[in-house]
Structures are given as structure tokens and as C-alpha cells.
Amino acid sequence: MATQTRHRPTAIEVSPKPELPTKRTEARNGALMVSPAVVLLLVFFLVPVLLCFILAFTNARLVSPEPTRFIGLDNFSRLFQDPLFWKSLRNTFYFAIVVVPLQSAFALVLALLVNSQHKGTNIFRTLYFIPVVTSIVVVSILWRFMYQPEGLVNQLLQTVSFNTIQGTDWLNNQSTAMPAIMFMSIWQAVGFHMVIWLSGLQTISAELYEAADLDGTNRWEKFRYVTWPGLRATRTFILVTITIAALSLFAQINVMTNGGPRDATSTVVFQAVRVGYQQQATAYASAISLAFFVLVLTVSLVQRYLTRDKD
């Protein structure tokens, strides 16, 4: 498969059209094709982001007769004194620090398993991918039932341990609520990153493995010196996407715990949504979002720096 990809003729080779379109038409076509995406980005991304930046420094409310006016850094001084914000920040990092390495490693293991040419690998690929195409809200509701005191998880624990393990009320216990959500989140999203690892694995030339075989390497050496270096670009991509996804944890919290018990699962995005919609404090929610933006940006930049091309 890998060799096929390499020798497939590129588009330029097959279509050397005799009459090239003029630069003008080409530009117009290009603009036409890009415009739907640009319009959507402008309306649903750039405008909201700009609004968020501006609103964070005002006293804007969702429902209020008072005119919006600038109040400087008041929202931020309120934010930094808000114990819930710090708690949410800690929870968000806790989630990311556990989920990012576990999920990417687990996804790589799965990718290596389903990358072999054995019979039935397609069935496994499909199985691992099913949770990804299921709505996260549906998955969260199902897991909420499974985590109940008399739910499937506890029944299963009792059965396999011959009643020696008595499970807890997973989502209602401060120390288990977040780990329970982590476990379920990894299970749900691991298939997606497995597919990305898989695409990375298939770009590695089979010739390299053949050469390694000739050199008499074992499986670990092959992984260490052929596979791992070959996954360089994929690695960076996966690291950045998982980190951003983990930091913006929201749906599972909203469906399964509402930030509880006692704020044990409150995250920054969850807090922003709660403050912005339920408490109608648009400006304060914007300030939280802005702080979140700076946070994600910093983390991504640090990651870019650490994974940069050192040559």
C-alpha cells in the first residue's frame, strides 16, 4: 500500500492541459472556491473572537437595559479572585496531563495492532472507530447510566472480582468523578487518533522495514529506529490536537456531572458557558474565554517550540 502511494503519478504529471487558463480567471476561480470557507470563518470565528476580546473589558450582560460600557480590567481582577476559576483551571490541567499521554499512547498501540495485514483487521478498525462517530452527548448519557451505583460498571466489577470489589457512585464521588470522565473520554476519542497514527504508519516505506530485516533487527529495534522516527510529523499533529481537545473539555461535564460533585469536575470552558448563559454575565464569560485563549495559545506555542525542527 505504501509503495502504491509513492508511485502514484501526481496531478501535474497527468494533466498538462494545452491551454492554460489566464491568471485572471485562475484567481477568480480561486477566490470563488475559497469564499464559502472565508465567509464562514469570518462570521462564525473571526467576529466572535473579536467580540470576545472587546466584551471582556466591558460590563455587557445577556439580558439588561443598561448600556454596555468599558470597565477596564475589572472582570479580570474579579476572575483572579474567583476560587472557582482556579479550581476549574486545575481540573482542566489535571484532565489534560492525564489524557494527552494516555490517549496518544493507547491510540498508537491500537494503530500498530490494526496496521498488520492479518485477516479481520478491518473489523477491528471499524470497532475502534465506532465511538468516534457516535455523538459525544449520546456517549455521555450512556456512560452516566453505566457509572451509577447499580450500573453496568459496578456490576461488572463485582462479577469479575467475585464480589470482593464494591464499586462506588463514580460520578458522585469527588475523587473518582474526574478519572471516570477521563476513562470514558479516552475510550470515546482514541479511535480518531488511532486513524491518524495509522495514516502516519502507512507513509513509512516498506523498503525501510525490508532493509531493517536484512540487518537482522528485532521488533523493538524496528519500532525504535524505523517506525518512531518515521512518525515525526504525525506525532506533533497528534500532540497538538489532543492537547487542545483536552483543554476544551465541556460536553461530558455538561451532560454527566454539571461540574460537581463540589466542583471536582468544573472546567474552564464549562465555567465560561455557565457564567455566560445561565448567569447571563456575558462580559465575565468573555474574560474567562480570553484567559482560556491565552492559555491554549501558550501551551500550543510551547509545544511547537519543543517539537520544532532542530536542524
CA geometry: angle 240, 246, 249, nearest 5 deg? 145
Q: Is 155 in the site for another protein (CB under 8 A)?
A: no
Phi, psi at 101, each rounded to 5°: -65, -40
In this complex, which beta carbon is closest to another protein, that of residue 205 or of residue 280? 280
End-to-end, the C-alpha distance of the chain in Å comes to: 30
Among 39, 73, 206, 211, binds another protein (CB under 8 A): 39
In this complex, which beta carbon is closest to another protein, that of residue 34 or of residue 130? 34
Binding-site size for another protein (CB under 8 A) equals 41
Q: List the x/- string, 233-272, binding to another protein by CB under 8 A.
A: -------------------------xxxxxx---------
Least distance in angstroms from the C-beta of 183 to another protein = 19
Q: What whole-number distance in Å separates Cα of residue 204 and Cα of residue 182?
A: 32
Show the beta-strand stretches assigned E in 172-306.
none
Q: Is 47 in the site for another protein (CB under 8 A)?
A: no
Q: Is 27 in the site for another protein (CB under 8 A)?
A: yes
Q: What whole-number distance in Å separates Cα of residue 86 and Cα of residue 42?
A: 32
Q: Is 168 in the site for another protein (CB under 8 A)?
A: no
The 8-class DSSP code of residue 22 comes to: P
Distances (CA, A) of 198 to 28, 108, 164, 189, 258: 37, 8, 40, 15, 35
Among 35, 159, 161, 166, binds another protein (CB under 8 A): 35
Among 58, 59, 286, 289, binds another protein (CB under 8 A): 59
In this complex, which beta carbon is closest to another protein, that of residue 227 or of residue 266? 266
In this complex, which beta carbon is closest to another protein, that of residue 78 or of residue 235? 78
Cα 131 from chain centroid (whole Å): 14
Q: What whole-number distance in Å separates Cα of residue 127 and Cα of residue 120?
A: 11
Residues 277-306 that bind another protein (CB under 8 A): 277-281, 284
Among 51, 62, 138, 165, binds another protein (CB under 8 A): 62
In this complex, which beta carbon is closest to another protein, that of residue 8 or of residue 28? 28
Q: Is 43 in the site for another protein (CB under 8 A)?
A: yes
Would you say 57 and 68 are in contact if contact means Cβ atoms under 8 Å apart? no
Among 96, 274, 276, 289, binds another protein (CB under 8 A): 274
Among 21, 42, 97, 206, binds another protein (CB under 8 A): 42
Residue ranges of alpha helices (H) inside the chain are: 2-7, 11-14, 23-41, 47-55, 74-80, 83-114, 121-133, 136-146, 152-160, 177-201, 206-214, 219-222, 228-230, 232-247, 251-256, 268-273, 282-306
Among 3, 5, 64, 166, binds another protein (CB under 8 A): 64
The dihedral over CA atoms of 186, 190, 192, 196, expressed in degrees to the nearest 10, equals 130
Would you say 221 and 109 are in contact if contact means Cβ atoms under 8 Å apart? no
Least distance in angstroms from the C-beta of 296 to another protein = 26
Binding range to another protein, per CB under 8 A, among 30-38, 212-220, 227-235, 242-250: 30-38
For CA atoms 34, 40, 41, 43, the dihedral sign is positive
Which residues contribute to the site for another protein (CB under 8 A)? 23-24, 27-28, 30-32, 34-36, 38-39, 42-43, 59, 61-66, 74, 78, 83, 148, 169, 172, 174, 258-263, 274, 277-281, 284
